[in-house]
Amino acid sequence: MKKKERTGSKKVGLLKNVKMEMKKVTWPNKKEVLKYSVATLVFCIVVMIFFQVLNLGLSVIKGAFN
């Protein structure tokens, strides 16, 4: 029976720690979420363009040797 009590107290302690840590979290506001989302989309588009240009360049090089 002591084992069940210890397991239960560990779970309660864990939940208390999670609750304390969640109070420390600072969530972004709408403006920050929009800013980070736009930055992520721009980065993805830039990387996509880079790989498309690289693919095109390699295709041209491969075609020149065939």
Note the Cα 16 to chain centre separation in Å. 26
**Which positions ≥6 away from 36 have C-beta within 8 Å?**
28
Q: What pLDDT, in 10s, does the model give residues 13-60? A: 899 999 999 999 999 999 999 999 999 999 999 999 999 999 999 999
Domain boundaries, the chain: 2-64
Rounded to whole angstroms, the Cα distance separating 25 from 14 reads: 17
Q: What is the pLDDT of residue 28?
A: 95
Using a cut of 0.85, tell me whether the model's pTM lies above it.
no
CA of 9: how far to CAs of 14, 18, 35, 47, in Å? 8, 14, 43, 50
